[in-house]
Structure 1
């Protein structure tokens, strides 16, 4: 099943998710990039409306589209794949911003499932930072973590908190947690 091969790494912004995924890619694992940053970069390049600070609902729809496209593309790739966030993150984002969750997004989370174990990066104040794309405050980053933890739990995933350790330590933790299946 594809779902067993599809491993999500989620959490709040600035918690080391992307750095971990880059380290996994350096070890020849296939990774899929985060939708949020991709959408923000594309929208900033064209001064588009689908930015979280301009139109959060449109931003969420583009994130959903990106994640669904990534999921479909992953089906044609062999072996284990690591996703920088997943479709449920869109729901977490909508809830965080106080927007309703449309039925079609819930259906997407029901039909496009990931590995039952989801790695979640806790808020880590020592490494958190803002940039041109990550405008969230530390408080928003904490609340984002909480929102992701809640939605993945509600959807029946087993949350596996990433340890506060080096990138190498986190890679080792992920490999040990997944066991031989991650090399399949």
Structure 2
């Protein structure tokens, strides 16, 4: 689907800031499913958290991402996703669960270009919802680069620059 654009990449690489700027420019944006699951689980005292029960967390993130995908398909115009079904399925695959990953080859397709924020240690921070170390974020980034390419997407690495230049770069690439 050419109107469904993914913004993914390294945790702490500036995705949320970029997504916020794109939203201010009038684009429909979809917040990261994983962050929403973590927030909901923390508020409810749940255990489907990446540091407690990774599989349950990923299954909830996939369910939410699937809802996001369907809602965006029904909207007119472009939707820009902060992460996607692919991110959660890629992580679930590391737990030897290939079910969702294989479905992504044909059933849930996005724009052929996927924008990835590269590792950027100078801006990386942890918080209550992002508790993993930078080294783990780097491993995630490498896995996502591999899996997006494996699924037939054209990976476009965003430059490490100010937000305005990143927006211009992304919009020019599209």
Give the alignment's TM-score, normalised by structure 1.
Answer: 0.91
- What is the number of residues matched between the two proteins? 174
Match of 1:146, SS?
helix
Match of 1:75, SS?
helix
Match of 1:110, SS?
coil
Partner of 1:122: 118
Instruction: Please give the per-residue CA displacement for 1:31-83, whole angstroms capped at 9, x wherever unaligned.
Output: 00101100000000111121111111111100100110000110121111100
Q: What's the CA shift for 1:102?
A: 3.6
Partner of 1:182: none
Q: 2:44 aligns with which of 35, 38, 46?
A: 46
**Contact 2:10-2:137 within 8 A present in 1 as well:** yes
Q: What's the CA shift for 1:109?
A: 5.0
Q: What's the CA shift for 1:105?
A: 4.4
Give the alignment's TM-score, normalised by structure 2.
Answer: 0.96
Partner of 2:88: 90
Q: What's the CA shift for 1:104?
A: 3.9
Moved over 6 A (4+): none
1:33 and 1:115 mapped to 2: Cα distance? 17
Match of 1:74, SS?
helix
**Contact 2:104-2:151 within 8 A present in 1 as well:** no
Q: 1:136 aligns with which of 132, 135, 138?
A: 132
Instruction: Please give the per-residue CA displacement for 1:78-127, whole angstroms capped at 9, x wherever unaligned.
Output: 111100011110133234xx411242443145301000000011000111
Instruction: Please give the per-residue CA displacement for 1:3-50, whole angstroms capped at 9, x wherever unaligned.
Output: 100000001110001110000000010000101100000000111121
Q: Which is richer in helix?
A: 1
In the alignment, structure 1 segments of 5+ residues that lack a partner are: 179-184
